[in-house]
Amino acid sequence: MFKQFSIPAPSAIIAEELQHKIDNKTKPLGALGELESIAFQLGKIQQTLTPDTSKPKMIIFAADHGVVAQGISLFPQEVTPQMVMNFLMGGAAVSVFCDQHKVPLRIVDVGVNAELAAHPLLGARKVAFSSQDFSQQAAMTTQQLEKAIQAGVDEANLAIDDGVNLLMFGEMGIGNTCVSSCMMTALIGVSATDSTGRGTGLDLAGVSHKAQVIEQSLKRAEQDTGQMIPDWSAQTLAEQVGGFEILAMAGAMLQSAQRQTAFVVDGFICSVALLFAQKVAPNVREYAIFAHQSNEKAHKMLLDHLNAEPILSLDLRLGEGSGAILAYPLINSACLFLNKMASFESAGVSDSK
**What H or E segment, with its residue span, contains residue 37?**
helix 34-46
Q: Kindly report the CA angle at 63 between 213 and 263, in degrees rounded to 5?
A: 105
Of the pLDDT bands very low, low, confident and very high (cuts 50, 70, 90), residue 199 is confident
Average pLDDT over residues 80-96: 97
Residue 160 has pLDDT above 60, yes or no: yes
The overall average pLDDT reported for the chain is 96
Q: Is the separation of the CB atoms in 320 and 92 below 8 Å? A: yes
Which pTM value belongs to this model? 0.95
pLDDT recorded at residue 62? 98
Residue 197: per-residue pLDDT: 87
pLDDT digits (tens, 9 = 90+) for 284-332: 999 999 999 999 889 999 999 999 999 999 999 899 999 999 999 999 9
Q: Does residue 347 register a pLDDT over 70? A: no
**pLDDT of amino acid 349:** 67
Half-sphere exposure of 289 (CA within 13 A, CB side): 35
Number of Cβ within a 10 Å radius of residue 206? 18
Report the pLDDT averaged over residues 202-219.
Answer: 94
Find the mean pLDDT for residues 88-98.
Answer: 97
pLDDT band at 351 (very low <50, low <70, confident <90, very high): low
Which residues, other chains included, contact 97 with Cβ-Cβ below 8 Å and sequence gap of 6+? 103, 322, 325, 326
User: What is the predicted pLDDT for the residue at 253?
Assistant: 98
Map residue 1 onto helix, strand or coil: coil
Distance, in Å, from the CA atom of 9 to the CA atom of 7, rounded to the nearest integer, reads 7
User: Cβ contacts of residue 49 below 8 Å, gap of 6+?
Assistant: 14, 17, 18, 21, 43, 338
Mean pLDDT across the stretch 110-120? Answer: 97
How many CB atoms neighbour CB 255 within 10 A?
A: 27
Provide the pLDDT for residue 353: 52
**Domain locations along the chain:** 56-332
Which pLDDT value is given to residue 2?
A: 74
Determine the average pLDDT of the residues in 131-143: 98
* Residue 10: count of CB within 10 angstroms of its CB: 21
By annotation, the residues acting in catalysis are 320
The residue among 262 and 199 whose pLDDT is bigger is 262
User: Where does the pLDDT of residue 333 fall: very low under 50, low under 70, confident under 90, or very high at 90 and above?
Assistant: very high
Considering the segment(s) 56-332 as one domain, its CATH architecture is 3-Layer(aba) Sandwich (3.40)
- Residue 346 in this model has a pLDDT that exceeds 80: no
